[in-house]
Structure 1
Amino acid sequence: MAKIAAVIVAAGRGTRATGSEVPKQFRPVGGEAVLRRCLTAFAGCGLIHTIQTVIRPGDEPRYAEAAAGLAVAPPVHGGETRQASVRAGLEALASEAPDIVLIHDAARPFASPVLIARAIAAAAETGAAIPGLAVTDTIKSIDSHGFVGETLDRARLRAVQTPQAFAFAPILEAHARAAREGRHDFTDDAAIAEWAGMQVRVFDGETANIKITHAEDFVRAEAMQLSQLSDVRTGTGIDVHAFGPGDHVMIGGVRIAHGQALTGHSDADVGLHALTDAILGALADGDIGSHFPPSDPQWKGAASDRFLKFACERVAARGGRIAHLDLTIVCEAPKIGPHRDAIRETVARIAGVTTDRVAVKATTSEQLGFTGRREGIAAYATATVRLPWS
């Protein structure tokens, strides 16, 4: 079986994608960094043996976060141009000597498993292959004064994408030769291959395989991501805990000084328990007790952030995302208002969402019921989750 590698080029600054100081490959789309989406797509392809990412010096912390948990090789540093960065990635793979290499821009986060497999098959057949889309607009060449030179035959034109796939040894040598001869003006790897005398075949690309270049492309990418998550679900969660001896309560992951504590098998965090059940409810995936039974001693005194994180990971495992979390605390005391922002920030951090997607409210029960008698605290939560249709 052929040994296949991939080079993911992520060493650019993304200066045209204005609106953020963070390079575009590390900015989120649908709650996940653009680069991570690329790495996940290639890591999920069972045909690929090694994934070599090329990054800019100083981007190591951002890269580590984007690549966490994925089976990828340690990154290498790129150069001043994309061409130099690709060469660095190819040279890093030289000791492994793969048969085929796919070269992909990190700015294209939506390359599908089908497209990746198609690239591999085309390269295995021809030795050099690139994805392309038929051009639907009329294309004209112009002179230096802006006048039309000629109208090009669009039937013979293709808009080229990545991943571009090549036999490894020839494309490595083509890049090395271009560097030796001082040629640094190639706009893609196919151009280098053509210059080196390789015949390059074009196979069908994908319209969804967009390249993020400008700020508005992030808006388009977010819309594309949301269109894939059209199964919108809502779940609710309720939790209550009684007061007992102690000097603080845990609510929403925040320690709040109080003359009593809440009793329970774990840390009795009513807020996080209610949120956990709300998310599990939206997934139709049981409740907190079925996943973390009170009868199991390992959960005695456990921090409830583990429960909420588990529920959020269940959403991610199904390819979904959390759209909004709404938490209401019912008690006479302690006062929740002074801690509202801290609770929102804590819940957002655990759930991996921004704070504007977390609402925290508090109310009393007008001295009615067990909360009114100051016997305990209740929490009500609602979770809105977006999933792909299965």
Structure 2
Amino acid sequence: MSEPSRIAALVVAAGRGARAGAGDPKQYRLVGGESVLGRVLALLGAHEAIDRILVVTHPDDGDFYARTTTALAPAAREKLLAPVQGAATRQGSVAAGLARLADGAAPEIVLVHDAARPFLTPDLVSRAIAAAQAHGAAIPGISVVDTIKRVDETGRVVETPPRATLRAVQTPQAFRFAPLAEAHRTAVAAGRDDFTDDGALMEWAGHPVVVFAGEAGNVKLTHPQDFAATGGPETRMITRLATGFDVHAFTVGDHVWLGGVRIPHTRGVLAHSDGDVVLHALTDALLGALAEGDIGTHFPPSDPQWKSASSDRFLAFAAERVRARGGIIDLLDATILAEAPKVGPHREAMREAIARAADIPVSRVSIKATTTEKLGFTGRGEGIAAQAAATIRLPEEDA
């Protein structure tokens, strides 16, 4: 019997976004070179506390959704359930998602998030989970800066609530799963289908709802100007290409590390870390594309903490540097130069290990191998080398 999923994320992405103007549905438009939904799924997929993600989609968006999820890192894709079709209202779409999550081992906590909020942070997600665990129903909110007026049907002001008591509510909203699912069923039975957020529905059902601190940057993209203001389609991405190279001499041993894979061999390599020439070359290629030095700049061999270190840490660091600058890794390509060991039997395992370390899809990783026709130090079996290339995109203002 499978272990029940403890924390699930339900992403509502079935809307048409008519107020966003002409073009693709807003959840599939680009912000900083990535689709809005793609940014949401990448962040949720990378969060260690979330073990299941379900997206509620529109029936016409199959191709959009497929392209978006294909571009995700393997770790994020592994958490995705098959999408469920949304309804005519947001409330109906959430209810459809909850029903799908309940079909099997229901989660303990569910986070409901709008796909049109692509700038949520890992810290916000963690605080949402903690608040739901502590209170049962919790929604993020930020203090309002404008004076709010309540008016009647004629537009006449009837009340000016004190700003100190007001909050602008965001997502992800977090709940214990069972009470939220029951509240949705109760609302349907009562003929209510007009709730625009799950916090309001839970209040109506009689559950106390707590507001925790949201984030000012967690904006909802609604109008065309929202995309322009937050680096939307108008943001140009500049392509950069750089290369890397690494070599290690053979020494006494019984294995070598190549591309994050331990391969049995008649020799080992002489190195300060694990001597993985593939990951070292790829790391240098990424750092070169960023113009941020080389592997020795960030991980000097004179520092004892890197002795025998696993080289996937170096590649993960360089990949994170790309993302920290708003960049995207398009391709990592490496060629191994050696007479032995044979690379072919290990090629796919190497691609998968590199994809995990760099947090990119395996389709963006290429591994090749060649001999040097018995010429040079590799031809004489004295060592092993790798050359690599990395193609990335950076926002124009940072490129």
Alignment TM class, shorter chain as reference: 0.5 to 0.7
Report the counterpart of residue 53 of structure 2 in structure 1.
Answer: 51
| Pairs within 5 Å for 1:202-213 | 202-213=211-222
Distance 1:278 1:2 in 2: 36
Work out which of the residue numbers 15, 18, 39 in structure 1 matches 2:18.
15
Look up the match of 1:80: 88
State the AA in 1 paired with 2:161.
Answer: L
1:66 corresponds to which of 60, 65, 68: 68
1:58 deviates by 2.0
Once the 2 structures are TM-superposed, how far is the Cα of residue 60 of structure 1 from its aligned partner? Answer: 1.2
C-alpha separation between the residues in 1 aligned to 2:15 and 2:393?
Answer: 36
Alignment of 1:238-317 (within 5 A): 280-284=288-292
Amino acid at match of 2:25: P
Pick one of 178, 196, 200 that aligns with 2:205. 196
- Which amino acid in 2 is paired with 1:80? A
Equivalent residues of 1:319, 1:387 under 8 A apart? no
Q: Following TM superposition, by how much is the alpha carbon of 1:320 offset from its aligned partner in structure 2, in angstroms?
A: 3.6
Deviation at 1:278, TM superposition (A): 11
AA aligned to 2:132 is A
SS at structure 2 position matched to 1:212:
coil
Number of residue pairs matched by the alignment:
265
Mapping of 1:129-148 within 5 angstroms?
Answer: 129-148=138-157
Which of 108, 128, 141 pairs up with 1:99?
Answer: 108
Query: Counterpart amino acid of 2:327?
Result: R
- Aligned partner letter, 2:11: I
Once the two structures are superposed, residues 160-214 of structure 1 have per-residue CA deviations (whole angstroms, 9 ceiling, x without a partner) of 0000000000000101111122101111001110111110000000000000111
Aligned identity (percent) is 47
Any conservation in 1 of the 2:327–2:392 contact (CA below 8 Å)? Answer: no
Deviation of residue 315 (structure 1)? 8.0
How far residue 142 of structure 1 moved from its aligned partner, in angstroms, is 1.4
For residue 32 of structure 2, what is the aligned residue in structure 1? Answer: 30
Cα displacement (A) at 1:386: 4.5
Closer/same/farther in 2, CA of residues 234 and 8 from structure 1, 3 Å limit: closer
Structure 1 segment 360-375 matched on structure 2, within 5 A? none
Change in CA separation of 1:285 and 1:75 when aligned onto 2, cut-off 3 Å: farther
Cα gap change, 1:173 to 1:315, in 2 (>3 Å): same
Q: Partner of 1:9: helix, strand, or coil?
A: strand
- In 1, the alpha carbon distance for the partners of 2:149 and 2:133 equals 35
CA RMSD of aligned residues (A): 3.6
Superposed counterparts of 1:329-368, under 5 Å: none
Counterpart of 1:187 in structure 2 is 196
Q: Which residue of 1 aligns with 2:388?
A: none
Q: AA paired with 2:174?
A: A
Could you tell me which runs of 5 or more consecutive residues in structure 2 were left unpaired when the two chains were aligned.
244-284, 296-318, 329-363, 365-390
In the TM superposition, residue 225 of structure 1 has moved relative to its aligned partner by 11
Give 1:159's aligned residue: 168
Question: Structure 1's 150 and 3: CA in aligned 2 closer, same or farther, altered over 3 A?
Answer: same
The aligned counterpart of 1:222 is 231
- 3-state DSSP class of the match of 1:103? strand
- Offset at 1:133? 0.4
User: Structure 2 counterpart of 1:53, which letter?
Assistant: V
Cα deviation code 1:68-87 (max 9, x no counterpart): 24231110101000000000
Q: Kindly tell me: are residues 213 and 177 of structure 1, through their superposed partners in 2, closer, same or farther at Cα, counting changes over 3 Å?
A: same
- Counterpart-to-counterpart distance in 1, 2:227 and 2:164: 30
Which residue is equivalent to 1:344?
A: none
Q: Which runs of 5+ in 1 are unaligned?
A: 238-276, 288-312, 323-351, 353-381
User: Matched residues in 2 for 1:219 and 1:126: separation?
Assistant: 37
Q: TM-score, normalised by structure 1?
A: 0.61
Question: Any idea what SS the aligned residue of 2:18 has?
Answer: coil
Which secondary structure state, in structure 2, belongs to the residue aligned with residue 222 of structure 1? coil
| Distance (Å, rounded) in 1 between the aligned partners of 2:97 and 2:186 | 16
CA contact (8 A) 1:282 1:384 kept: no
Post-superposition shift, 1:135? 1.0
Please say if residues 235 and 282 of structure 1, whose CA atoms lie closer than 8 Å, have aligned partners that are also in contact. Answer: no
Instruction: Report the secondary structure of 1:137's partner residue.
Output: coil
Could you say if the C-alpha distance between residues 174 and 31 of structure 1 is closer, same or farther in structure 2, counting changes exceeding 3 Å? same
Note the C-alpha offset of 1:144. Answer: 1.8
In terms of Rg, which structure is larger? Answer: 1
Q: Quote the Cα distance in structure 1 between the aligned partners of 2:54 and 2:150.
A: 38
The residue type paired with residue 99 of structure 1 is E
Which segment drifts farther, 174-183 or 112-121? 174-183
* Paired residue type of 2:152: D
What letter matches 2:18 in structure 1?
T
How far does the alpha carbon of each residue in 1:263-287 deviate from its partner, in whole angstroms, 9 at most, with x for none? Answer: xxxxxxxxxxxxxx89944445779
Question: Aligned partner of 1:321: which letter?
Answer: G
2:97 pairs with 1:89 = yes
Q: TM-score, normalised by structure 2?
A: 0.60
Tell me how far apart the structure 1 counterparts of residues 194 and 394 of structure 2 sit (CA, whole Å). Answer: 47
- Write the distance in 1 (CA, Å) between the matches of 2:91 and 2:30: 25
